[in-house]
Structure 1
Amino acid sequence: MLSAELYFSFRSPYSYLAIGRYRALMESHTVDIALRPVWPLAVREPDFFERNHPNWLGYTMRDMIRVAQFHGIPFGAPRPDPIVQDVSTRRIAAEQPFIERITRLGQAAARRGKGVAFAHEAGQLIWGGAENWHEGDHLAGAAQRVGLDLDALDSEIESEADALDAEIAANQHALEDAGHWGVPTLVFDGEPFFGQDRIEMVKWRMEQKGLEQR
């Protein structure tokens, strides 16, 4: 059985556009992909959006929409955005309750070997058009669909927040040690593949190492 690590942010649209396809690869072929959640750029570098090129946001929005259309992936603006941010100034708020909870939930799911499946289910809520994805039974349903219990996960992220945060920070360090810094990045056999457009190349490389259909 081959193995790989997928570095992923719940706020990254490209991470969402990749996660379902990586989940499908893992289910159809002899590879185990471990989710490695990281904090989004908005948390790691709060001034990133303020200092970026003016064309960056417009192009990125256009591109993510067409990628979703090309692959037939449901896509819409998150409601609410996992990051609390002033839209007019792009300034990031100091308190970030949504991204903290969902990233810690992702790490707790990863502890159980179900990180990729949970991230895909949760990502479909965040980016697939669900309104108030953080409320009601949305996340409970996402957890249940992959064999997890949201109450148990919430209890864990409350009692072990510091430990989970340390694991998330270690994921970022591991990503940088592997040769990249952004997400989604899949690391296989020490080789990083950055972007949602590298999945076919990842599969090609894995086939060279013995990847087979299940």
Structure 2
Amino acid sequence: MSRRPRLYFSFRSPYSWLTVLRLREAVPDACETVDFFPYWDPDEQTGRALAERGGEFHYIQMSRAKHLYMLLDTKRLAQQQGLAMAWPIDVDPWWELPHLAWLYARRQGRAWEFYDAVTEARWGRGDNICDPEVVRAAARQAGLDPEAAIAAAGDPDIRAEAVGSLYQAYLDDVFGIPYLKWGRHRFWGFDRLDAFLDAWRPVLQGANA
């Protein structure tokens, strides 16, 4: 399989945060060898544009019981990796703001500096990453223009790119995060990362030999 793996991530998901962290530790050049796609609950404008392209959003909101389980499970996983973790409280979040700002950061060649600043804010401090001031601070930390990062959610070109990301997720049958797709293979969740690495890393190493 010559196609590059695709990894769908979300700033909302602690499992996504832990998976991307482990992947980058296991494969130091993962940011160059894997294609990353942001995935989030679309607002009305993005959802309408996605539907106009013939796409749907497969994710279903979790129950309170599942949310409480995830809270305990991710804290346990973080502790196993020696990570301190804060649990943010999301009140009427607008997920376009951080995710489209990441698309802007990628255009500026600062995707991972911004990604690290946002995940540090959310999972390290429990900040509300849908607050414009938090996104501005993350942009400054990443060496980006903070006002341009905020404006990304209103940029028609970046909006179109965002819709394209969610449409690709629809084509790849993404229903939860994190989600890895490589050729015919699909891996959903933090606990499937090792299975993905077992399948992909020998091929990657062979290509680099």
Shorter-chain TM band: 0.7 to 0.9
What secondary structure sits across from 2:35 in the alignment? strand
- Equivalent position amino acid for 2:139 in 1: A
- Say whether residues 1:108 and 2:107 are aligned partners: no
Unmatched runs of 5 consecutive residues or more in structure 2: 48-56
Q: Which residues of 2 match residues 45-194 of structure 1 at below 5 A?
A: 48-49=60-61, 52-78=62-88, 81=90, 84-85=91-92, 96-97=93-94, 99-112=95-108, 114-131=110-127, 134=131, 135=133, 138-144=137-143, 148-155=144-151, 157=152, 160=155, 162-194=156-188
Measured in 2, the distance between the counterparts of 1:117 and 1:75 equals: 19
Alpha-carbon RMSD across the aligned residues, in angstroms, is 3.4
Does the 8 Å contact 1:179/1:192 carry over to 2?
A: no
- Equivalent position amino acid for 1:12 in 2: S
Q: Deviations over 1:6-48 (max 9, x none)?
A: 2111111211222222333442569522321122389877x95
Deviation at 1:139, TM superposition (A): 0.9
Deviation at 1:125, TM superposition (A): 0.9
Measured in 2, the distance between the counterparts of 1:34 and 1:114 equals: 15
TM-score (norm 1): 0.71
- Equivalent position amino acid for 2:142 in 1: A
Residue 5 of structure 1 aligns with which residue? Answer: 6
Deviation at 1:54, TM superposition (A): 4.7
Measured in 2, the distance between the counterparts of 1:53 and 1:74 equals: 25
Residue 93 of structure 1 aligns with which residue? Answer: none
What secondary structure sits across from 2:4 in the alignment? strand
Does the 8 Å contact 1:7/1:171 carry over to 2?
A: no
- Equivalent position amino acid for 2:70 in 1: T
TM-score (norm 2): 0.72
Does the 8 Å contact 2:86/2:125 carry over to 1?
A: yes
Measured in 2, the distance between the counterparts of 1:21 and 1:211 equals: 18
Superposition misfits of 4+ residues, deviation over 6 angstroms: 41-45
